[in-house]
Amino acid sequence: MDQSHIRNFSIIAHIDHGKSTLADRILELTHTVEAREMRAQLLDSMDLERERGITIKAQAVRVFFTAKDGETYQLHLIDTPGHVDFTYEVSRSLAACEGALLVVDAAQGVEAQTVANTYLAVDAGLELIPCLNKIDLPGAEPERVAGEVSDLIGEPPESILKISGKTGEGVGEVLEELIARVPPPAGDPDGPPRALIFDSEFDQYRGVIAYIRVVDGVFRKGEPIRAMATGTEAEIDDLGFFSPQMMPTDQLAAGEVGYLITGLKDVTLLRVGDTLTTHAKAGGTAARNHPGEAKEPLPGYREVKPMVFCGLFPIDSDDYPDLRDALEKLVLNDAALSWEPETSDALGFGFRCGFLGLLHMDIVKERLEREYDLELLATMPSVEFDVTLTNREEIEVHNPSDMPDPGTIEEIREPFITASVIAPKEFVGAVMGLCQERRGEHTGMHYLSPERVQMTYELPLAEIVLDFFDQLKSRTKGYASLDYEISGMKPSDLVKLDVLLAGDTVDALSMVVHRDKAYEMGRTLTEKLRKRIPRQQYDVPIQAAIGAHVIARETVKAFRKDVIAGCYGGDITRKKKLLEKQREGKKRMKQVGRVEVPQEAFLAVLELGEE
């Protein structure tokens, strides 16, 4: 199709503001999906996405719409994830578009991820079309929310479209506005072919399926291709578009969105954000007519780095090979997941896994348990630390138990984030109190409306990975919303806190904390463990230590067997002899005895933030 009749657009919104429901109405209105095949959240294909009401993987669909001018337009809708963990994927999806629908809940108003995704779209140079969704709700306040959106993007409040993704009201006007305001693609149809990979998935029969937006030139079946960042070379086995099922076609031209199958079996070879180009084989007419290989890749590509790390251990140690197989299969679909084997004295064999964030970690754990029938125990999430040693060597530490000896450390750096919190004005004090408890540094504050405030803080990532979001929601009665982005590594006064049971270090309970919080954390942790560790025949000391310095201690008291119960009166020396014998036995038992750590004890670490 002629590029002037193509429109590529995305839908951006905060979680639960009706993005996937609006996509459903667009599919219905354009008759892309027959009524008998229609279901809610049609583009969310995973069970987890449908249950939680969130989009985890980007989806692309091609629809045809006949506008009021009588012309038929080819629209490509790219449905993006909404969560902060997947910001890079969102940025690549936006790079594949020329316009975006900014959807805001008319009852809830502008929230943190609305602001963050709007800035991403503005940076990408997209034409923004704001829409107020859910205007059919009794609690909708379209005038107030239109004012907030107007302040955010500078659009006059009266020109903001009012729609209902549930009833379909106003969706036709949205598509008309889209065709009028979003510019058509501006690529060179005859130039060297270039395409942006904005997502990829793995099919066990066909290999890697790359979702692409063709920017310049034409891609045809059977042509050899090359990924410009990774250098991967392959041949196009098949290509086509989504409608929303896969529809094969012979070629994809400049401006079009679709998929490309190469038969490659490793999803890391075709990374999100990479640029594909074709290269002509030596000799032959095809090579002479070939427009050549692209020299410049499309901008914006970067390697996705895991930010949060935790250990995954099977509860039944016999499941270790099954967990390895499950991770191998899952990583085929999810290039952002990293894993390596790990051994713990307390938990046995498992894997140290790296994730984009807490939601990503939660989803991976749930998929492993559900799809591969495993029972898993996750250790406390931690972040990556950069350590400079006294001999100037620099190392990366993903696991607290790998932290080097304190005497050899010159400096420890940890990742910091710029967090944006939006909340009603009456909760400003509660939000500020929470951020200051978590070593936050206040960097800005402004009112989005007379009732809602946006606060910006610099926070260490380690302070928010555990329970920051839960605390934020509970202190603001659920009204606050959070968005953050990584701002870089900064030096901090951090120490490794070890837990010793009967003098032995339990590696799975080690953590890296700020020196000012070490005593409080150590005391809380030893108290919680005292309640969880079963009593033995001898006293079990539980100690929290920084290096060789013990900062907190609790004792699990021994069972006391009454050995003198059988002495009815008689000489005191008889009782002393029995008690002495018992004391000797306990001493011997203490030397050879080993304290078994129950699984619940590891959950005590995760409950630290609940106090």
CA–CA distance, 103 with 426 (Å, rounded to integer): 26
Res 286: pLDDT: 46
CA–CA distance, 209 with 201 (Å, rounded to integer): 5
The mean pLDDT value for 415-424 works out to: 87
Work out the angle at residue 239's Cα, subtended by the Cα atoms of residues 238 and 242, and round it to the nearest 5 degrees: 130
The mean pLDDT value for 561-577 works out to: 76
CA–CA distance, 255 with 367 (Å, rounded to integer): 35
The residues, ordered by sequence, that sit 6+ positions from 412 with a Cβ below 8 Å of its Cβ are: 385, 386, 387, 388, 491, 492, 494, 512
Local confidence band at 373 (pLDDT 50, 70, 90 cut-offs):
confident
Local confidence band at 283 (pLDDT 50, 70, 90 cut-offs):
very low
CA–CA distance, 50 with 53 (Å, rounded to integer): 5
The mean pLDDT value for 274-300 works out to: 66
Reading the block at residue 345, the tokens are 């004295």
pLDDT at residue 282 tops 50: no
Res 277: pLDDT: 86
CA–CA distance, 544 with 524 (Å, rounded to integer): 10
pLDDT at residue 602 tops 80: no
The residues, ordered by sequence, that sit 6+ positions from 392 with a Cβ below 8 Å of its Cβ are: 410
Res 458: pLDDT: 92
Local confidence band at 37 (pLDDT 50, 70, 90 cut-offs):
low
Query: Is the torsion defined by CA of 208, 214, 216, 222 positive or negative?
Result: positive
| Tens digit of each residue's pLDDT (9 = 90 or more) over 250-259 | 888 888 888 8
Helices (H), 112-211: 112-123, 142-153, 171-181
Residue among 116, 173, 128, 112 nearest 10 (CA)? 128
Res 400: pLDDT: 83
Helix (H, G, I), strand (E, B) or coil at 174: helix
Higher per-residue pLDDT: 93 or 215: 215
Res 404: pLDDT: 85
The answer to whether the CB of 490 falls within 8 A of the CB of 418 is no
pLDDT at residue 494 tops 60: yes
Helix (H, G, I), strand (E, B) or coil at 171: helix
Query: Is the torsion defined by CA of 34, 40, 42, 45 positive or negative?
Result: negative
| Tens digit of each residue's pLDDT (9 = 90 or more) over 94-143 | 888 888 888 888 888 887 777 878 888 888 888 888 888 888 888 888 88
- What residue has token string 């008998």? 36
Local confidence band at 281 (pLDDT 50, 70, 90 cut-offs):
low
What are the beta bridge partners of residue 128?
100
Q: Quick one: what percent of the chain has pLDDT higher than 90?
A: 2
Res 336: pLDDT: 76
pLDDT at residue 50 tops 60: no
Local confidence band at 199 (pLDDT 50, 70, 90 cut-offs):
confident
Residue among 492, 489, 526 nearest 509 (CA)? 526
Reading the block at residue 320, the tokens are 């270790």
Higher per-residue pLDDT: 123 or 428: 428
CA–CA distance, 586 with 591 (Å, rounded to integer): 9
Res 432: pLDDT: 92
Local confidence band at 331 (pLDDT 50, 70, 90 cut-offs):
confident
Local confidence band at 372 (pLDDT 50, 70, 90 cut-offs):
confident
The answer to whether the CB of 273 falls within 8 A of the CB of 343 is no
pLDDT at residue 268 tops 50: yes
What are the beta bridge partners of residue 59?
79
- What residue has token string 């995760």? 606
Cβ neighbours, 10 Å, residue 400: 21
Q: What is the chain's length?
A: 611
Helices (H), 237-340: 284-289, 320-333
Reading the block at residue 501, the tokens are 């049971």
Q: What is the dihedral of CA 313, 319, 320, 322, to 10 degrees?
A: -120
What are the beta bridge partners of residue 216?
194
Query: Is the torsion defined by CA of 509, 510, 514, 518 positive or negative?
Result: positive
CA–CA distance, 6 with 8 (Å, rounded to integer): 7
pLDDT at residue 5 tops 80: yes
Enclosing H/E stretch for 471: helix 468-475
| Tens digit of each residue's pLDDT (9 = 90 or more) over 433-455 | 999 988 889 998 988 778 888 89
Local confidence band at 144 (pLDDT 50, 70, 90 cut-offs):
confident
Res 280: pLDDT: 64
Res 381: pLDDT: 82
Omega within 30 of 0 (cis) for the link into 244: yes
Expressed in percent and rounded to 5, the helix, strand and coil fractions of the chain are 30, 30, 35
Residue among 122, 153, 113, 208 nearest 131 (CA)? 153
CA–CA distance, 20 with 26 (Å, rounded to integer): 10
Res 288: pLDDT: 45
